[in-house]
Amino acid sequence: MANGHSAEAIEATTDRDLFSPDLRGPDGIRAPLNAGWEQQELNEKQRQEEEWQKEDEAEMMIDAISQALKRPFHISEVLTRPSKGQGSKLLHYIDARSVMKRLDDVVGMANWQTKIIETASGTRVLCELSVKIEGEWITKTDGSGDTDFEKEKGAISRALCRAATHFGIGRYLYNPAAFDRNNTPATWATPEGYDKMVAARADPTMYSHIE
């Protein structure tokens, strides 16, 4: 050839550039030099997809826990008392036992705890409610003064209930539209209506109207 290189030499050089004697399979066939990089890219892509899947599953789990905590209580568990200074208006609330049962049912008795703190004045107590979600402890705090019934015990129970609202437990009871004048709950303020609303958000074709 004009440049002094034979066709055999060019072929040998090309073969040496594309293949490495160190990259041989069990059958002795040489593999391209870029085969290792391709495998690394494939492994990295698979690792990222697995991480994204775990993140999606974690978000779904947190959403499910949040929805379960926020779920309205059966009307038999909702208590009422007259509202001070608001005429015949009733206030709706739940007691500490309902809060504790909700926590047990949703996250399990080993995954929540409380700490009661008495303020310096001695007239108010704070409740630190901690819930373990996805391996992390989340703490919300709220307090209450003495109540007319069993002052100290009542303050602790009310502080727990108030701290629980920070996790969504019973928060709907603060909505003035949750109950009408006849003390009848709105559809969305019932367990069944809430379940339908959640299902409709997941699949809008299932329910065309939620009151």
Per-residue pLDDT of 75-113, as tens digits, reads 999 999 888 766 678 899 999 999 999 999 999 999 999
- pLDDT for res 107: 97
Domain extents in the chain? 7-66, 73-202
Check whether domain 73-202 has CATH 3.30.450, yes or no:
no
Query: Over 90: is that where the pLDDT of 184 sits?
Result: yes
Most confident among 3-12, 25-34, 201-210 (mean pLDDT):
201-210
pTM for the whole structure? 0.69
- The confidence band for 71, taking pLDDT boundaries of 50, 70 and 90, is very high
Higher pLDDT, 57 or 176: 176
The tens digit of pLDDT for each residue in 140-181 reads: 999 988 655 455 678 899 999 999 999 999 999 999 999 998
Rounded-to-integer distance, Cα 184 and Cα 134, Å: 37
